[in-house]
Structure 1
């Protein structure tokens, strides 16, 4: 499984204007709904916040990977947002966030397996500072995909 085969340009939003975590999650979740990945915005967001209560999803270096297994997911997907400005987010390094990678996975056994695969795949890529730099400078979905090719 390659990241570039997982990224759907329909659920990538660059140059995002957002003031808060809630604003970002609403925008990205709307993309997921419009593209047919989820069936309900409010239910899906509720599941994300349930996961957020277990521990922070801001991994540092201006990146957050919010996620949560949800019955409202029809198809596994990854929504990616690149913000114009840093916003507050609970992170390991105490900095805010500019890049958000939101996983949409089901809450069944298959969803749990996909969830772990996606986390592992993205964690490896996001361990590379060059990938993060290119991601945060991306101006469109093509540039986001190129950032993950490193």
Structure 2
């Protein structure tokens, strides 16, 4: 499984209106629920915040990759949200966040392996400044997918 195979336009919102971290996570979790990736939004969000309490997921350059293993995940996926104005988030560079990759990963070993592969692939892409710039400027799902092509 690679990043291109999990990019699902049903869980991508490039015009998200979230004003803070809580709204962003709740919005993206709702999209995951509606698309059948998670069974229980509240349980999933609790697991995301548990992971958030262990260390910041804002990796800098206006990007955050919140994640956490959850029993409520029924299918591995990544919800992606983008906001116009940065929102406050704990980040490595002290800046806010405009682009959020919310991972949906189950608790079993196979899910853990898939999660690590996807996280590594996303991290590789996000390590490229041009790719991050292209993602921040993506106007359509196709634009976003092209960065991972």
Are 2:65 and 1:65 aligned? yes
Does structure 2 conserve the Cα–Cα contact (< 8 Å) formed by 1:47 and 1:69? yes
Corresponding residue of 1:47? 47
Q: Which moved more, 1:9-18 or 1:59-68?
A: 9-18
Does structure 2 conserve the Cα–Cα contact (< 8 Å) formed by 1:70 and 1:105? yes
CA–CA separation in structure 2 for the residues paired with 1:40 and 1:84: 29
The TM-score with structure 1 as length reference comes to 0.96
Partner SS for 2:114: helix
Corresponding residue of 1:119? 119
Shift of 1:140: 2.0
Corresponding residue of 1:22? 22
Alignment: residue pair count: 149
Shift of 1:143: 1.4
| Runs of 5+ unmatched residues, structure 1 | none
- Residues 18-55 of structure 1: CA deviation (Å, up to 9, x unaligned): 11101000110111001000001110000000000110
Once superposed, what is the RMSD of the aligned Cα atoms?
Answer: 0.9
The TM-score with structure 2 as length reference comes to 0.97
- Segments ≥4 residues shifted beyond 3 Å: none
